[in-house]
Amino acid sequence: MELRQLEHFVAVAEERHFTRAAERLAVSQSGLSASVRALEHELRTPLFSRTTRTVRLTEAGQALLVEAERTLAGARAARDAVDAVRGLLRGTLTLGVEQCVAGVSPARLLAAFHREHPHMEIRLRQEGTSSLLEGVAGGRLDLAFAATVSPPEWRGELVPLARERMVVLCAPGHPLADGTRVEWTALRGRSFIDFHPDWGPRRAADEAFAARDILPPLPAPPPLPQAPGSPPSLDTETGPVADVDPGALELLAADSAVRAFAMLADALADGHAPRPPAAELTPDQDAVRLAAVTRPDAPTLARVAAASGRQRADLDGAVSAWRFGGAAALAVYDEEWAPGPHELSRARAALAAAWEDGEAPRLRPSHNRWTVVGAGTQLRYGRDGRWWPYRKERGRWVPAGPAGEDPAGALAGVSTALDGEA
């Protein structure tokens, strides 16, 4: 394990994006990715959960980040100590600053510091209050200028530099513009523009409102349109640049509209708040979802199959599974697993109770799959205790319907056309 690898890992963890991390470190993205993969190989565990949209730390990555930041900070301190013996102040000063900080000018302070210590490298990061405090506590930042409301529970040093009154900005013709002082109660029921929730001024306002039981009203939820919007056509007189497929871009735009519509519909549905958020899809799951929802043309579907690592026939089966039950159905399609004693007992009890005496089909079990002998049909037992019907077509098992709690009911709608015994 090398310090360079830890620097690459920390950069990706902070940026949550390989391209931005590579630009920050002035290295190629391929080199950065190779460095991270080598580190994961050495540690024998994934450090990042990579999807088509985000890069997130795994549990192992979170544990490594704390130690990596400490190790890099210790290495910088060691170099600085040697330079100090030589009479030089050399090293890196990493400073964090919030966008809205009163009573201090980081630009002037940094300019004066640089004139006095020209060999020092200065790195400036702009973040919210919570991120700044975590950065100092973890060694990622040497110091930070942050707007705080109350002393946070942390082990670092907190030095008050200035205090400033909060002000309300409004148009000259606004009713609140007449006076020189605005009481908190005068803001009750009014809508206004505020800062990001992680910024100090926003947190100060939220605490003040909460202390006086005055909360600004939420805007009315947007109405749900009748259907997802149609993306703009990319069929123009201007030809596409190299390696850009207009058809694929239109497909992705249409998919974004469908997903945005589904998210809005879910947010406006009754009981939305108590439901936990859906688990994030893996790249393979998202590729199957994309093919199932957008119904792409043959060339695009071939690209989706290649990207997901599936053969075309396998992708067709995965798409069919997705349409019957989303990620849960896809897991049943892909995975053959051995039920434990308790799960196997439940499955056998459900099968025994599903049919009247003498009416049960002859089933041949294999792990979580029960094949109807001579009928070309099959029941698959999911990890959630539901039964998924399958049938055999052209030598392959394909999903045949949605899941059911009753194995007989799940199997009832499946065509019993013989396709040879499995």
Provide the residue ranges of all domains of the chain, joining segments of one domain with +. 1-87, 89-219, 246-325, 335-412
For the segment 94-108, the average pLDDT, to the nearest whole number, is 79
Taking 90 as the threshold, does the pLDDT of residue 320 lie above it? yes
Taking 70 as the threshold, does the pLDDT of residue 2 lie above it? yes
Is residue 152 very low, low, confident or very high in pLDDT (cuts 50, 70, 90)?
low
pLDDT of residue 420: 40
Is residue 399 very low, low, confident or very high in pLDDT (cuts 50, 70, 90)?
very high
Is the pTM above the cut of 0.75? no
If you compute the radius of gyration of the chain from its CA atoms, what whole number of angstroms results? 30
Which range in 183-197, 224-238, 378-392 is most confidently predicted, on average pLDDT?
Answer: 378-392
The two beta strands, 363-366 and 91-97, are unpaired
- Which H or E run includes 156? none
Taking 80 as the threshold, does the pLDDT of residue 38 lie above it? yes
Which range in 83-87, 157-161, 299-303, 342-346 is most confidently predicted, on average pLDDT?
Answer: 342-346
Taking 50 as the threshold, does the pLDDT of residue 416 lie above it? no
For the segment 307-334, the average pLDDT, to the nearest whole number, is 90
Residue 165 tokens, joined: 């009154």
- Which H or E run includes 55? strand 55-57
DSSP lists the bridge partners of residue 397 as 392
Sheet holding 120-126, edge to edge: 120-126, 91-97, 143-145
Is-contact 166 206, C-beta < 8 A? no
pLDDT of residue 371: 94
Provide φ and ψ at 57, rounded to 5°.
-75, 140
Cα(231)–Cα(228) distance, rounded to whole angstroms?
A: 9
- Residue 45 CA: distances (Å) to CA of 28, 61, 71, 74, 144: 24, 9, 20, 25, 33
pLDDT of residue 332: 93
For the segment 174-190, the average pLDDT, to the nearest whole number, is 80
Distance between alpha carbon 30 and the CA centroid of its chain, in Å? 22
CA nearest neighbour of 295 among 317, 319, 327, 325: 319
pLDDT of residue 179: 76
Identify the CATH class of 89-219: alpha beta
Is-contact 413 374, C-beta < 8 A? no
CA angle (288 as vertex; 284, 291 as ends), nearest 5: 140
DSSP lists the bridge partners of residue 365 as 370
Q: Which CATH architecture has domain 1-87?
A: Orthogonal Bundle (1.10)
CA nearest neighbour of 278 among 266, 269, 290, 268: 266
Cα(321)–Cα(291) distance, rounded to whole angstroms?
A: 12
Cα(312)–Cα(325) distance, rounded to whole angstroms?
A: 20
Residue 231 tokens, joined: 């993306």
DSSP lists the bridge partners of residue 95 as 124, 143
pLDDT of residue 216: 62
Residue 109 tokens, joined: 């302070």
Average pLDDT, the chain: 82
Is-contact 95 141, C-beta < 8 A? yes
pLDDT of residue 163: 79
Indicate the burial class of 376 (C-beta count within 10 angstroms; 0-12, 13-18, 19 or more).
buried
Q: Is 390 helix (H, G, I), strand (E, B) or coil?
A: strand
Q: Which residue has the higher pLDDT, 139 or 351?
A: 351
pLDDT of residue 31: 84
For the segment 73-92, the average pLDDT, to the nearest whole number, is 74
Residue 135 tokens, joined: 């950065």
User: Residues 83-92: contacts with CB within 8 Å, 24+ apart?
Assistant: 88/119, 89/117, 89/119, 89/120, 90/119, 90/120, 91/120, 91/121, 92/120, 92/121, 92/122, 92/123
Is residue 369 very low, low, confident or very high in pLDDT (cuts 50, 70, 90)?
very high
Amino acid found at 79: R
Indicate the burial class of 15 (C-beta count within 10 angstroms; 0-12, 13-18, 19 or more).
middle
For the segment 209-228, the average pLDDT, to the nearest whole number, is 76
DSSP lists the bridge partners of residue 404 as 387
Percent of the chain with pLDDT over 90: 14
pLDDT of residue 331: 92
Taking 50 as the threshold, does the pLDDT of residue 160 lie above it? yes
Taking 90 as the threshold, does the pLDDT of residue 240 lie above it? no
Q: At what angle do helices 312-334 and 298-308 cross, to 10 degrees?
A: 50
